[in-house]
Structure 1
Amino acid sequence: MLFIDESLSYRLAARLATEFAGTLAVPKVAVLGEGSRDSRVWEYAQEHNLALLTKDKDFVDYWRRFGPPPKVIRLDIGNNMQVRSIETLMKTNKRRVLEFLAEPKAGLLVLIG
């Protein structure tokens, strides 16, 4: 299941739900809410077996420092990429993402948009 970081729009959760069932967005998780610290988001993803979807390089640093879980999918995109374009990027790479999520030893996937 994907866990969309606040660096991306929470609207992605609904847009990706058909392709990636159970997708959540950080601001919509009651115990986290908006403005959650990265360390708390990381812990929540770890505790709930979620893969972080982010454009924030800080989570790659967490991954390097602590290793998985959680897995991290980093979108290497500009700050102005529209939700629709991010949705397309994820759906175009659906097979890669699902293979990454299924691979027990995988920890980081970078998608370039």
Structure 2
Amino acid sequence: MKLLLDANLSWRLIKPLKNSFEDVEHVNELPIAQPAKDIEIWNFAKMNNWIIVTCDEDFYNFHLIKGFPPKIILLRKGNLKTEEVATLFYQYKKVIKAFHESPHLGVLELV
């Protein structure tokens, strides 16, 4: 499972999330023009089989129009500290894995 952290999330999440998830990258490290536009991130994730992790509703709107892939994990918890986001992912690790494996689900909302 490959998680792509959107610009609205800290790059500092990479290290703690790599303890539980195989591959974690931040959009600022992608080989695309920076700052990356949402549609460029969407297209990159789709072409390279990444799950987008974001707080940005625009990706949800893309999903409504374009469907999936890519899959999206949408955080709806408000402003959380980096450690709190990492803890949330640990708590939902089994749910996230099931979401990743499901061919029928395109959006996972963590609230």
TM interval, short-chain normalised: over 0.9
2:22 matched to which residue of 1?
Answer: 21
Q: 5 Å matches for 1:1-113?
A: 1-29=2-30, 31-32=31-32, 34-78=34-78, 80-112=79-111
2-structure distance, mates of 1:28, 1:68 = 23
2-structure distance, mates of 1:109, 1:81 = 18
1:2-54 CA-partner distances (Å, limit 9, x unpaired): 1110011111112101101111110122x136420000000000000000000
SS in 2 for 1:90: helix
User: Pairwise CA RMSD of aligned residues?
Assistant: 1.0
Q: 2:39 is aligned with what amino acid?
A: S
Q: Structure 1 unaligned runs (5+)? A: none
1-structure distance, mates of 2:62, 2:22 = 25
1-structure distance, mates of 2:18, 2:29 = 14
1:70-104 CA-partner distances (Å, limit 9, x unpaired): 000000021x3100000000110000000000001
4+ aligned runs moved over 3 Å, structure 1: none
SS in 2 for 1:42: helix
The alignment covers a number of residue pairs equal to 110
Give the structure-1-normalised TM-score.
0.93
- The alignment-based identity, stated in percent, is 30
Give the structure-2-normalised TM-score.
0.94
Bigger relative CO (Cα 8 Å, ≥ 6 apart): 2
